[in-house]
Structure formats: C-alpha cells, structure tokens
C-alpha cells in the first residue's frame, strides 16, 4: 500500500513536469505551426538563469519563497527574450518556406543555443539551490517531501491560469483564432506576427516554470539538460495530440506513468523506453493525430 | 529573392552551429599552458615526427557530450605530464633528444566520433600512439581500429575488462572485475552488509561490468542481492524514484551505485526521499570533489567508493603532482582520478618509448609490455599479466565531514 502511494506521488511529480513542457511544445505548434526543437535549449537557459539568480539572492534573502518568485520572474524574462529573438531570427523569415526548412532551422537554433550555454557557463554540472523549502512530511510511514506536493500544485495552477488566459482574454481569443486559420485571423485585424511571438513568450515562461520544478526535483544539471527533457516532452505532446493542451497533459502523464510503472512491472527496469516508444507507435497507428488531437484538413 | 534570403538564413544558422562546435573543440587547447600542436597542417606527415625532433601522440578525449568534465580533467593531466617531461629534457632516443607533443580530438562522448578520431590517428603516420578515450564505451568503439591498424593505445580510465583483449590496448587503471570484487568483499566482510541492492546505468558497459561482477562475488561469498535494477542513461534519465521506492521497501544494508558522479546526488537524494536508510557505495566514477560540494544535505556521509589514489597515502611523486596541480589550476579541489590517470598514461608512453628506444608503433607496444614497474601518481604499476592490464592497488575512500577520507588500501 505504502509503495503504491509513494509511486503515485512519484508519478504525479514526473507527469507534471512532462506535461508543462509538452504544453509549451503544443502551444507553439498550434499557433505558430512549427515544432520548436529549440525548446530544450530554452529550458536549459531557464535552468541557468534560475541557478544564478537564486544563488545570488540566497546570499541576501533568507526566505526561499521570495527567492523562488524573483528567480522565476527574472528567468522568465530572460528566456522570453531569447525565445522571441530566436523566433524573429530563425523562424519568422521562414514563414513561407517548406516545413522541413523550419524544422532544420529549429534544430540548428536549439543546438547553437546549447553550445552557447556550454561556452558561456562551461561544462561542469551545477546543483540548483533548493527553490522550495526542504521539508519532508511523514504521513503514515510515507515520506512526502514538500517539493513533491508543490510541484504538482504549481503545475496545476499554471495549467489553470493558462487555460483561463486562452479561454477568457482577448490575447487568448486571438491565439485561438490564429491557431484555427492564420490568414483569416489576419483579415480580421489580428496582428498575427505579434500573436505568434506571444506564443513563444508563453512557451518560454512555461519552460521556466518547468525548469524550476525540474531543478527542485532533480537538482543536478549541466548544459545539455534541455536535450534530455525535450524528447520525452515532444513524445508526450505527439502522443496526446500536438496542438491540444489537454492532450499534452494526458500525454505527459502517460509517459510518466510508463516511466514509473515499467521498472516495477518489467523484469528489467530499463525496458521502459522500449515500452514508451511502443505505446507511441501503437497510438499513432490507431489515431495518427494523437489521443486528443483534432484532424486538420490541409487546404490547397 | 525570398528563397535566397531563406537559404542564406539556414546557412547562417548552420554556420553558427558549426562555429559553435569547432570553437568549443578548440577551447582546451587555447587555454592549455603547453599550447600543443593542434593544426593538422603542422604535422600529419613523417617530417613532423622525425625532422623537428618532436614525438606526437593523439589524444582522443570526451570534451563535449554528456560528461564533459572527463575531457577537461583529461587534458589537464596530459598537459601537466607533457610540460613536465619537456621541461625535464624530453625523451632521449639513441642519444638524440625529442620533445613530446600531442594532437587532441574531441569525441563528444559519442562512440562514432571516438572511432573516427581513432581512425584519423591511425591514418596519420606522424602519430605514434593514442591516449584515451577515458570512457569504456568510447574505448570499445576504437578497439577494432587500433587492433587492425596496429596503433598502440593507452586508456587512462577505462576499467572495462574486455578492453585489453586487444594486444594493442593498454590502460593506466585497474579493471571492473577487480573493482566489483573489492566492493563486494568490502561490503560483506568489513561493512557487515548481508543484503545489497544495485542500481546501474545499463547503457554503459562500465556501469554494467561493475554491477555484474559485484553481484557475482557478493552472492558467492554469501550475501544476498535483494534488488538489481537498471536504467538507461543514454536518454538522460533523472527520475529514479520508481526504482528507489522498490529498493527502499527492501531496505538492504548497502546500495551500490556504480554510476557517474553527476548522477549520484540525484540518485541518493531520491533514495533517501523514498525512505532508504542504509549505506551507499560507489565505484571510481565517484572521484570528483563536485560530489562533496553538491552534497549539501550530507546524504553521502559514511558512503564508500573505490578510488585510484588518495593524497593521505600518496607517494612523493603524487604529492608533487598535487602541489603542481594547485599551482596551475588553483586550489579549489584536488586533482581527480581522471587527471591523475591521464598524467600517468603519458608517463607510461614515455617509459615505453625509452624502453624501446624508438617511437615506432610496434616498438611502443613492446615497450609498454616490457615496463617492469612504474611508480605513478596512482600507485605502482607492473604489466605482468600478459596483456595491457597493469597490476596495481586500489584505495577505499569514505565520505565523511564533507571530505574524501582514506580508509584502506586493497592489493590485488
């Protein structure tokens, strides 16, 4: 019983982090119409900025929460700036180019950023300071660190806020309009370029929030941290139906479920990757748009 | 026009990436005090090796990729040894003095690139031998090439048993069999651990080799391995909570983590979070002081690992080496095992050349085989096993009060 509860908490933690990253992927795909492979590098930049701001602030401020909030805001701004620059430099000019050019461009931008991180901050791994107070509750023989609860809470709050922004605000309406039909949205007077840039900002902020949770949960990271997270998040997004926010959440939790369950159920714990990819292939065979993805009709 | 612009942009991004890559491959050479020969044009032909009185070896190292600290440490050790040898008058062959220099190629912690580098060294007649790679996985990718081409190679840090199946491969360290056996015996006999669990990265033969040997020996002497779990490090896994929950529910006396030090804090933190209360044990990949720096919660207090040397039992040569390291690279932290082993690897090469009185590839191999004893930083080595494995001792190191403390020396 205890093991079950513990594993369930592990599942929620991992699922939350995958889901947030998958949403970033999905949003940019839905609105800008491109798979942003540079997302992993945005995630990496967020990690480093969070690390530097929080390390600095912890020398001045004692309250973990205040440091966390300031670091989160600072890192969001920096990462958003980088994201918008990448969008303007590497994607926007390719708006009318074949899709493969944008894919190559995004992979290139991602790698360039990753090596930029390596050159600026070096190869030595870093330890993220505890961004959430290091307290562990013992509830009926089960160890529950506070950060695990907070990761789930922060992820849920972020998803609710994001949904509200998309459903209720003017910007959100514009985003949905662009996602449905970019040309028509332009005719209706929506500044489509700005909306696309905003989707990158949203993606960057989500990446920063995810990075703060990841850093708290797994502490040690190096310049290639984004590379590792990107594939699972991408798979989660595709599995759930890329472009659909609900789908990304479902995909994130399915991948997390496999990660947690596989080592328990399978005789060899490292078989989980095989299972995850097998599930992905099966889902795509049955429903090529992903679990919650909508079929879009390509118009000529 | 737009299409042209697009092509130009794509090219620009590509260029930025290429520039990023090559820039980064050159970094250590730019920074290294010895400024080794790095341009292909400068060498790569017989003239470079004979005419200028310079002997070149190739360094195949892990500067970028998943574990860049390996490459950084490697080049530090190499530079120290090369500079020292040259400052002391170089290498004398038949009364003629040669200086030692190297050509470095980054393998990006990638087996394909490690193999390409080895091939490049093999094809370059000006290269007398290869040092590196350090990681077992990378080494195995080069094994067939060095064997076929007859290029003597010394891996400073690869402890994988099969490596020296090739008559051209040598190493400066002990083997995984030795390491796994020491860990098992030490856990059972000295730590009185009757049950153990293992969590290892199955994507690297190094980790797998130690895990396998540990289980074999541990069960043979009467211990019980209650959980034997793995993960795939190639996918950058950082969530081990599922495995740790299983381990915590079995509560073994010892948890062996024969993995890279960068993963250890994450693994031990998760083990404790999941309620594991026993001791941690590790392999020689734990030997970097970053581990202590990151261990802010003292989770590793009491943990044991097998290392190659320790300053408390260091020879005079090793003490001088540590002092010299501090002078060159600052005093934060002592040189790790990789620095020390790379340093020793260069001296092994020097000894081999001196023994053979030639820097012909085959002569170097025979020279390495004929090294009777070498008093290195990492201990005394003899190549008397009929292959490239030195006979040398290991040290057991315990983490306590945020330091690596010497506990014991184990003779083979």
Which chain B positions have a beta carbon within 8 Å of A115's beta carbon?
Answer: 17, 20-21, 24
Alpha carbon B346 to chain centroid distance? 13
Find out whether B195 and B252 touch, Cβ atoms under 8 Å: yes
B9 touches chain A (CB under 8 A): yes
N-term to C-term CA, chain B: 72
pLDDT exceeding 90 applies to what percent of chain B? Answer: 65
CA distance A67 to A44: 19
Please judge whether B6 and A94 are an interchain contact, meaning their C-beta atoms are less than 8 angstroms apart.
yes
Please judge whether B231 and A263 are an interchain contact, meaning their C-beta atoms are less than 8 angstroms apart.
yes
Alpha carbon B190 to chain centroid distance? 28
Find out whether B284 and B306 touch, Cβ atoms under 8 Å: yes
Tell me the helix, strand and coil percentages in chain A, rounded to 5.
75, 5, 20
Q: Average pLDDT over chain A, rounded to whole?
A: 89
Portion 38-97 of B in contact with A at CB < 8 A: 63-66, 68-69, 71-72
Predicted pLDDT at B12:
58
| Average pLDDT score over residue span A170-180 | 90
Partner residue facing A227 (CB), from B9, B236, B269: B236
Phi, psi of A210 (to 5 degrees): -60, -40
| Average pLDDT score over residue span B214-241 | 92
Q: Give the confidence band of B16 by pLDDT, cuts at 50, 70, 90.
A: low
Predicted pLDDT at B30:
39
Sole residue written with tokens 């081409």: B149
3-state secondary structure of B199: strand
The token pair that represents A242 in the structure block: 């890329």
Whether the upstream peptide bond of residue B133 has omega within 30° of 0, thus cis, is yes
| Average pLDDT score over residue span B12-37 | 44
DSSP code of residue B189: I
Find out whether B381 and B371 touch, Cβ atoms under 8 Å: yes
Find out whether A45 and A113 touch, Cβ atoms under 8 Å: yes
Alpha carbon A70 to chain centroid distance? 20
| Average pLDDT score over residue span A69-83 | 96
A8: number of Cβ within 10 Å: 12
Bridge partner list, B256: B198, B281
Partner residue facing A116 (CB), from B20, B203, B230: B20
| Strand pairing report for B195-201 and B379-381 | unpaired
Please judge whether A112 and B13 are an interchain contact, meaning their C-beta atoms are less than 8 angstroms apart.
yes
Judged against a pLDDT cut of 50, whether residue A182 lies above it is answered with yes
Judged against a pLDDT cut of 60, whether residue A288 lies above it is answered with yes
B297 touches chain A (CB under 8 A): yes
Which chain A positions have a beta carbon within 8 Å of B14's beta carbon?
Answer: 108
Q: Give the confidence band of B24 by pLDDT, cuts at 50, 70, 90.
A: very low
Find out whether B159 and B191 touch, Cβ atoms under 8 Å: no
Max Cα distance, chain A (Å): 62
Nearest residue in A to B11, CA atom = A105
Give me the interface pTM, i.e. the ipTM. 0.84
Judged against a pLDDT cut of 70, whether residue B412 lies above it is answered with yes
pLDDT exceeding 70 applies to what percent of chain B? Answer: 87
| Average pLDDT score over residue span B75-96 | 94
Based on the number of CB atoms within 10 Å of its own CB, is A246 exposed (0-12), middle (13-18) or buried (19 or more)? middle
Q: What is the dihedral angle through the alpha carbons of A155, A157, A163, A169, rounded to the nearest 10 degrees? A: -130
CA distance B117 to B108: 11
pLDDT in tens, B347-398: 999 999 999 999 999 999 999 998 988 989 998 888 888 899 999 889 999 9
pLDDT in tens, B280-338: 999 999 988 889 999 988 999 999 999 998 988 888 889 999 999 999 998 777 888 99
Q: Which of A86, A115, A225 is nearest to B266 (CA)?
A: A225
Q: Which residues of A212-236 are buried (b: 16+ CB within 10 A; e: fewer)?
A: bbbbbbbbbbbbbbbbbbbebbbbb
Judged against a pLDDT cut of 70, whether residue B346 lies above it is answered with yes
Please judge whether B24 and A115 are an interchain contact, meaning their C-beta atoms are less than 8 angstroms apart.
yes
Predicted pLDDT at B274:
87
Predicted pLDDT at B13:
52
Judged against a pLDDT cut of 90, whether residue A270 lies above it is answered with no
A52 touches chain B (CB under 8 A): no
Higher pLDDT: B82 or A31? It is B82
Please judge whether B9 and A112 are an interchain contact, meaning their C-beta atoms are less than 8 angstroms apart.
no
Higher pLDDT: B228 or A30? It is B228
pLDDT exceeding 90 applies to what percent of chain A? Answer: 51
Q: Which of A1-10, A183-192, B191-200 holds the top average pLDDT?
A: B191-200
CA distance A183 to A112: 31
Judged against a pLDDT cut of 50, whether residue B148 lies above it is answered with yes
3-state secondary structure of A42: helix
B191: number of Cβ within 10 Å: 16
N-term to C-term CA, chain A: 57
Report DSSP letters for B347-369, one per residue.
HHHHHHHHHHTS--HHHHHHHHH
Q: Which of B339, B365, B368 is nearest to B351 (CA)?
A: B368
CA distance B236 to B232: 8
Please judge whether B239 and A10 are an interchain contact, meaning their C-beta atoms are less than 8 angstroms apart.
yes
Please judge whether A108 and B13 are an interchain contact, meaning their C-beta atoms are less than 8 angstroms apart.
yes
Q: How far is the alpha carbon of A219 from chain B, nearest alpha carbon, in Å? A: 7
Most B-contacting residue of A219, A221, A229, A266 (CB-CB within 10 A), to test interface: A219
B239 touches chain A (CB under 8 A): yes
Helices (H), B191-336: 205-220, 241-250, 261-273, 290-294, 316-329
B22 touches chain A (CB under 8 A): no
CA distance B64 to B104: 13
Portion 183-222 of B in contact with A at CB < 8 A: 202-203
Does the CA dihedral A184-A187-A190-A196 come out positive or negative?
positive
Find out whether A194 and A45 touch, Cβ atoms under 8 Å: no
Predicted pLDDT at B14:
56
Describe the strand order of the beta sheet including B91-93 as a list of residue ranges: B91-93, B96-106, B54-61, B127-131, B153-155, B169-171
Half-sphere exposure at residue B135, Cβ-oriented, CA atoms within 13 angstroms: 30
Which chain B positions have a beta carbon within 8 Å of A261's beta carbon?
Answer: 242
Q: How far is the alpha carbon of A165 from chain B, nearest alpha carbon, in Å? A: 31
Please judge whether A259 and B293 are an interchain contact, meaning their C-beta atoms are less than 8 angstroms apart.
no
Based on the number of CB atoms within 10 Å of its own CB, is A167 exposed (0-12), middle (13-18) or buried (19 or more)? exposed
Element (H, E) at B115: helix B111-123
Predicted pLDDT at A227:
84
Report DSSP letters for A55-100, one per residue.
HHHHTT---HHHHHHHHHHHHHHHHHHHHHHHIIIIIGGGTTS-HH
Tell me the helix, strand and coil percentages in chain B, rounded to 5.
50, 20, 30
| Average pLDDT score over residue span A230-245 | 89
B296 touches chain A (CB under 8 A): yes
Which chain A positions have a beta carbon within 8 Å of B17's beta carbon?
Answer: 108, 111-112, 115
Predicted pLDDT at A48:
96
Find out whether A250 and A291 touch, Cβ atoms under 8 Å: yes
Q: Which of B253, B190, B264, B265 is nearest to B227 (CA)?
A: B253
The token pair that represents A117 in the structure block: 């991180």
Alpha carbon A265 to chain centroid distance? 28
Q: Average pLDDT over chain B, rounded to whole?
A: 86
A115 touches chain B (CB under 8 A): yes
CA distance B259 to B144: 26
Please judge whether B245 and A272 are an interchain contact, meaning their C-beta atoms are less than 8 angstroms apart.
no
Lowest mean pLDDT among A121-135, B98-112, B268-282, B316-330: A121-135
| Strand pairing report for B394-400 and B403-410 | antiparallel
Q: How far is the alpha carbon of A241 from chain B, nearest alpha carbon, in Å? A: 22
| Average pLDDT score over residue span A102-116 | 91
Based on the number of CB atoms within 10 Å of its own CB, is B316 exposed (0-12), middle (13-18) or buried (19 or more)? exposed
Q: What angle do CA B234, B236, B242 make, to 5 degrees?
A: 105
Most B-contacting residue of A144, A270, A276 (CB-CB within 10 A), to test interface: A270
Element (H, E) at B100: strand B96-106
B330 touches chain A (CB under 8 A): no
A124 touches chain B (CB under 8 A): yes
Element (H, E) at B374: strand B374-376
CA distance A115 to A105: 15
């Amino acid at each position: 019983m205890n093991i079950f509860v513990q594993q369930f908490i592990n599942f929620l933690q991992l699922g939350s982090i995958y889901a947030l990253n998958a949403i970033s992927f999905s949003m940019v795909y839905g609105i800008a119409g491109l798979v942003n492979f540079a997302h992993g590098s945005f995630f990496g930049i967020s990690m480093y900025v969070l690390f530097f701001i929080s390390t600095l602030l912890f020398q001045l401020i004692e309250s973990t929460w205040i440091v966390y909030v300031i670091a989160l805001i600072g890192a969001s701004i920096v990462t958003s700036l980088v994201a918008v620059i990448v969008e303007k430099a590497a994607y926007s000019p390719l708006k009318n180019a074949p899709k493969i050019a944008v894919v190559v461009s995004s992979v290139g931008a991602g790698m360039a950023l990753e090596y930029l991180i390596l050159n600026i901050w070096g190869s030595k791994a870093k330890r993220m300071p505890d961004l959430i107070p290091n307290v562990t509750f013992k509830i009926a023989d089960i160890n529950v660190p506070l950060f695990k609860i907070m990761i789930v809470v922060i992820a849920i709050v972020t998803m609710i806020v994001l949904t509200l922004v998309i459903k209720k605000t003017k910007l959100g309406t514009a985003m949905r309009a662009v996602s449905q039909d970019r040309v028509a949205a332009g005719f209706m007077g929506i500044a489509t370029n700005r909306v696309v840039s905003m989707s990158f900002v949203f993606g960057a902020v989500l990446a920063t929030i995810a990075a703060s949770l990841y850093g708290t949960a797994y502490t040690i990271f190096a310049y290639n941290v984004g590379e590792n997270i990107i594939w699972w998040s991408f798979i989660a997004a595709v599995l759930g139906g890329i472009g659909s926010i609900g789908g990304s959440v479902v995909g994130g939790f399915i991948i997390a479920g496999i990660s947690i369950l596989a080592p328990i159920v399978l005789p060899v714990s490292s078989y989980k990757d095989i299972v995850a990819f097998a599930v992905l292939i099966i889902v795509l065979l049955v429903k090529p748009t992903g679990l919650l993805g909508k079929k879009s009709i390509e118009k000529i | 026009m737009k299409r042209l612009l697009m092509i130009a942009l794509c090219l620009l991004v590509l260029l930025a990436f290429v520039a990023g890559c090559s820039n980064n491959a050159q970094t250590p050479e730019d920074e290294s005090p010895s400024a080794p020969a790095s341009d292909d044009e400068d060498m790569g032909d017989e003239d470079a090796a004979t005419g200028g009185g310079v002997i070149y070896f190739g360094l195949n190292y892990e500067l970028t990729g998943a574990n860049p600290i390996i490459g950084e440490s490697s080049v530090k050790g190499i530079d120290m040894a090369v500079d020292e040898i040259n400052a002391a008058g170089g290498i004398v062959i038949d009364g003629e003095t040669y200086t030692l220099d190297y050509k470095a190629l980054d393998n990006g912690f990638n087996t394909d690139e490690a193999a390409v580098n080895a091939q490049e060294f093999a094809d370059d007649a000006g290269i007398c031998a290869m040092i590196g790679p350090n990681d077992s996985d990378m080494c195995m990718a080069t094994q067939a090439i060095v064997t076929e081409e007859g290029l003597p190679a010394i891996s400073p840090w690869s402890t994988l048993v099969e490596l020296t199946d090739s008559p051209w491969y040598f190493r400066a360290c002990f083997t995984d069999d030795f390491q796994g056996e020491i860990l098992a015996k030490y856990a059972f006999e000295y730590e009185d651990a009757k049950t153990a669990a293992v969590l290892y990265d199955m994507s690297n033969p190094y980790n797998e080799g130690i895990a396998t040997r540990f289980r074999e020996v541990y069960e043979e002497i009467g211990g019980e391995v209650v959980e034997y779990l793995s993960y795939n490090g190639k996918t950058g896994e950082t969530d081990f909570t599922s495995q740790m929950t299983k381990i915590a529910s079995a509560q073994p006396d010892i948890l062996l983590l024969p993995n890279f030090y960068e993963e250890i804090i994450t693994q031990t933190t998760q083990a404790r979070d999941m309620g594991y209360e026993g001791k941690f044990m590790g392999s020689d990949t734990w030997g970097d002081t970053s581990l202590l720096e990151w261990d802010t919660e003292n989770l590793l207090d009491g943990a044991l690992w097998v290392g190659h040397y320790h300053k408390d039992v260091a020879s005079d040569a090793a003490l001088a080496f540590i002092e010299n390291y501090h002078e060159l690279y600052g005093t934060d932290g002592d040189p790790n095992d990789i620095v020390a082993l790379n340093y020793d690897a260069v001296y092994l090469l020097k000894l081999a050349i001196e023994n053979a009185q030639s820097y012909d590839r085959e002569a170097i191999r025979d020279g390495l085989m004929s090294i009777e004893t070498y008093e290195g930083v990492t201990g005394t080595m003899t190549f008397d096993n009929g292959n490239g494995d030195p006979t040398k001792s290991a040290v057991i190191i315990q983490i306590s009060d945020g330091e690596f403390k010497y506990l014991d020396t184990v003779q083979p």
